Amino acid sequence: MLGIIGGSGFYSAGYTENLRHIEVVTEYSDAAVPIELVETEKPFAFLARHGKEHHIPPHEINYRANIDALRLAGVTEIVAINAVGGIAEGTGPGSIIIPDQLIDYTWGRHSTYCGQSKRFVQHVDFSFPFDQALSDKLVSAVNTINDQSEAARPVVVGGVYGVTQGPRLETAAEIRKMRRDGCDIVGMTAMPEAVLARELGIKYGMLALSVNWAAGILPTVVTMEEIEAVLVDGQQFLRRVIARITDA
């Protein structure tokens, strides 16, 4: 079954019928993980990464509980929806990116299921963090929605997602460094989400919406108002893409 993880601005699958709310208990959290199960012809699960009220900041998300809860609900492939900042040409606000690589700059997050009480060591291959077939499916869905839209959105296929700790945004110098490192976009939540999915054998692909130019790309500072406006504006497009991949 497909699982959708909604990021900033995306807190529900948007269904009122054929919808079941479940709470999945995992060993990684005292609190159960709320998941929406959409029980249409092709059922899928939906999880709001930041909680329904966007009350969980990126560094406090219980990634292990979330991914394990999706597994327990029967999810075998995940499409993550992420708001990001644009660094590379073509990744400005409103554009859609389907990244194919990442660099992890986060720290202090529980980023593996091995160790501790588990008493096993697993060195998963993570050469290609995003599933190619799932990414291809996303690209084709985005292109179809673009073809049906009057104003097509710029789409970047492939690219490196640099994952920062947050919740603060970056300094201009940090973004310059990330650019030198080869990052094309910046966000705060792809890790450890992607690697935990890999450890559990769950395929992982990403649909990213750029909501701002990263720090220092423009001479102005980054404002929440601009981010919010692009997020709101992008929701309908993202929902159409999701409707397409959950239908097909």
Note the residues at the interface with ligand HPA (CB under 6 A). 83-85, 164, 169-170, 186-188, 211-212, 214, 222
Shortest approach of ligand HPA to residue 186 CB, angstroms? 4
Residue 84 or 97 having the CB closest to ligand HPA: 84
The number of angstroms, rounded, from the C-alpha of 86 to the middle of its chain's C-alpha atoms is 15
Shortest approach of ligand HPA to residue 72 CB, angstroms? 29
Shortest approach of ligand HPA to residue 185 CB, angstroms? 8
Element containing residue 21 per DSSP (H, E): strand 19-24
Of the candidates 128, 189, 195, the residue with the CA atom closest to the CA atom of residue 164: 189
Residue 22 or 172 having the CB closest to ligand HPA: 172
Q: Which residues make Cβ contacts (< 8 Å) with residue 148, sequence separation at least 6?
A: none
Shortest approach of ligand HPA to residue 211 CB, angstroms? 5
SS3 for 224? helix
Residue 2 or 178 having the CB closest to ligand HPA: 178
Shortest approach of ligand HPA to residue 58 CB, angstroms? 8
Residue 113 or 213 having the CB closest to ligand HPA: 213
Residue 85 or 129 having the CB closest to ligand HPA: 85
Of the candidates 203, 212, 205, the residue with the CA atom closest to the CA atom of residue 141: 205
For the chain, helix, strand, coil in percent to 5 are 30, 25, 45
Q: Which residue's Cβ lies closest to ligand HPA? A: 85
